[in-house]
Structure 1
C-alpha cells in the first residue's frame, strides 16, 4: 500500500487505466446511447488514454507532477469525442494540483479532484447532470468528506466509491438513460480510471464490475446521442493553436452554430475543440479566425448510420491499408489494395475512416495493415466494429509502410484466409525498417541529446542516429541495416524538400558499396518522414 503517489505509481496508473478501458471497451460502447461507430464512448476513451500512455512512455520526468503533466498533454492531443475531451481535462486538473510536486499525498489528491471536477464543468458549454460530469463531482465530494489531509489509500478508495455511487444514480438524473435501461457510458469509463488508481495505491484488485442491466433493445440505445441533440448532423473536432484571448469569441461563434461544445487547453496555447454543427465550413472557419487548426476530423452522423451493412451479400478477401501520402497510396493501389489516407498532419485516420473503407470493399474477409504504431489502436477499434457487422477482419501489425509493402507482396487470394494472414504477418516481421525524421523539440534520446531541427535516424522505432543532413543519416541507417544482411532495400522519399535527393544518395551508396543488393526507390510523399527504409 502506497503512502505517497510518485512518478512510478502514476506511470503504473496510466498503464492500468489503458488496460482497464481496453478490457471493458465493448461493455462501455454497449452502454452508449450514441449509435455512431466513431462516437462510441468506450472506443473514444480507450484511444484517448492510449494517447496519454504514449506521452507518458516518452516522458523522462522523475516527479509525480511531471509525469501527470505528460499524461494530461497526451490525453489532450489524443482526445476522441466528447467524452475523451472531458477526460483529458479531468487529468489536466489533477496535473495542475500536482504541479511541482515530487510526490503527492492525500491532501493533494483532494485538491486535484476538486480542480478536475471544476475543470470538467468549465470545459462544457452546457453541462448536463447524469453524465461523467456528475460522476467526477461526486468523486471529489466523497474525498473532501474525509477532511483536508486524508491518507492516500483512503482518499483513492473514497474517490472510486463515490464515483460508483454516482454512476448508479445517473439514470435517475437523465431520462434517456432510464428509458434505455443503462447507466452513463462516460461515467462508467471514468470509474474504470479511478478504480485503476485505487488498485495501484492500495495493492488490492478492483471489485468485479457490476453486471449492468442491458438495454431493452438496440433501438432504445439509438434514441438519442451521447451528447447534444439530433438537430445537428456533423461532429467537428480539431486541435487549435491560438492565444487565450481568442477563445471567448471562438466559443461564442461555435455556440451559435451548434451544441455539444467542449474546448479544453493544455496551458501552452494548444486547445482541443469539439462541437456538433450543421455548417462544417463555418465551424472550421471559426478555428481559422481564432488561430491555426489542424488534425481536423468531421463525422457525418447520417452517413455512419447508413453505412452499417446487414452482413449479407459480401464475398471474397480484400486488403485495406493506411497510407498517408499520394505516392504511398498509389503504390498500394497499384497492388489492388484499398487505401485510407489518414490525416495530412499526423498520418492517423479516424476509426470512422478506416471502418468506412473496410465496409466499402464489399469483402467478407479483410486484412488490415495499419503501417504505424500510432495507427494500431485505431485499426483494432475499426476491426472490432466491422466484426460486429459480419465482416471478418484480421489486423496485421505492420509498423511502417515498408512492412506493409512487404506484406502485400506475398498476398495470395487462393490461400485460406487464416494462412494468408500468417504469411503477411511473417513477411512484415521479417522486414527491418528505418525512418528519418526531424526533431521538433529539444530532447534526450538513446543516441544522446538532440535539438529542434536535428535530423534523427530511427531503427525499429528507436533513435540511433543524430545528424544535420537527411542523406547522411539515411545512408548511415542503411549501412547499419545491410550489415546484418539483406537482399532487397526499399526507400520511400517523403514530402519534405530534399527528400528525393536524399533517397537517390542512399541509392548511390548501395550501388557503390553493396552492388548485389536489389534497391527500389519510390516517391511516397509521406508527411513527417523524409525517408522510410525497409530491408528484406
Structure 2
C-alpha cells in the first residue's frame, strides 16, 4: 500500500485502541512504584478509546487530514493522567503534520510522526530520556531516515516499529529507577502497542471497537449524560389486580419482562402485583400483563425527554445565579474527602485521583458548571496537573488557573488559604504559599516484589510514602503509620492530620490517633474519614 486514506487511518486508530486495551494491565504492571496505582495503561487506554469513538463517527469519504484532526480533538478531551496528556499531544502533532492531506505517503507520515514527537516533548516541562518521549522520538527519527527507501506504508511502519522495540529494551539503561525496578518504560510500551495496532489496522476492514467495560472508572458527579446511552427509553409502571391461581402466570410475566428491558422490579402482596420496567415497547409489556388481569395506575414516561427537561431547568437556574469572583474545582476520590472539600468551599468536586485520573473533558465540564469569572483548579495529584492545564487553552469565557497541588493535604491547605475579600492574584499567591512547609504522606501496600534505592520490598509489604518517596517499609499498617509520622514530626510541628480510607475500620483509625496524641502531646491530632481508595491513610504534618 503506497498511500493511506482517511478510512485506513480510522481502521488503524481503532485497531490501535483495541490492542492497547487488551494489554493495558501488562502496561500497568510496569509501574516503577510497586503500589496499587499503576495507571499508565489505564490512562493511555481511556485516552485512545476517546479518540477511537470520535473517529468511528466519521464517514468513509473523510480525508486523512480530517480524521487526524478529529483524533486530535478526541485525545485532548479524553486525556487522562500524564501519559494520556502526552498521548494527546502526540495525536495533536500527528494531525498538524497531515494538515490539508487527502492521503498520506511514507514521506507524509514521517513528517507527521516528527511533528508528533516535537509536540510530545513540548507537553513536558522537564523531559526525561528513557520514557515515552524517547520512544516516540526514536520512532519518528527512524521513519524520517527510511521514508525514501519504502513505498509500502506497512513495511515502512514495521521497520520503524522493530527499531523502536529495540530502543524500548534499552530504557532501563537510561533511567535508574527503571533499572532498579527491572522494567522497561510503561508509556513507551503503550505507544508501541498503538503502533502495532496501526500496522495491523492497515489490513483490517472496518474493525469493531472492543468493549471497555473492564476499565473501572468511577464517574464524577456531573449529572448531564448523553441520552443516546439510555438503551431503554420508556419508564413503565403499573399495578395488576391479583387473581387466584396466578403463580405460574407471574413466572411467565417475569420471564417476559427480563427479555423486554432492564431495571425490572416485580413485587406482590395478597391483592396486587406492582411492576416497574425500562423498555422500548411499553405497549407489548402492558399487553402481556393484561393476560393476567385488570391493570390499574399505569404510568409511562419518556426518560430521554425527562432528562433533557431536567438539564434545561438546571442550566436555566445556573444562568440566573449571580456570578462569583472566584470558584474552585477540586479533584478527590472518596466520599469523606469530597465532603471535606465542599465544606471548605470547593464549588465543584470531580471524582478522581490515583489510578482514576479524570480527563480534560471531565475538568472542563466541572468548570462549565461554575458561574464564576475566575476558576482555580486543584488537581491534588501530579498525574492530573497536565490535564488540568489543558483546560486553560480550551475555556475562553473564564479565567482558569491551576495550582500545582500534588496531593490531598496540599489541596485542603490551598482551600483554607482562600480569602474572598482578596483579588485573584493575591489568592493565587496565598494558595501557592500555603503548603510550602506542609509534609504529606500516604500509607499503602506493595503489589509486587522490587528494590527501590536501598529498600528491598516484598509483595503486600506496607509502604509509607513521604513527599512522593517510599521511606518506610513494614509488615503491619499500625507500625508503618507510626514510623511514617515519626519521620515527619519535628520540633516545629503543631498539627497532625490523618484521613483514613474506605477499607479502614474507624476503631483502628482511632487507636492510631490516640497513640499519636500520647506520643506527641504538643501537637494537635485531627482524625477524619476520607474514604479514599488505594491508600489506607493520608497524613499531613504542619
RCO comparison, higher one (Cα < 8 Å, 6+): 2
TM-score, normalized by length of structure 1? 0.50
TM-score, normalized by length of structure 2? 0.49
Larger radius of gyration: 2
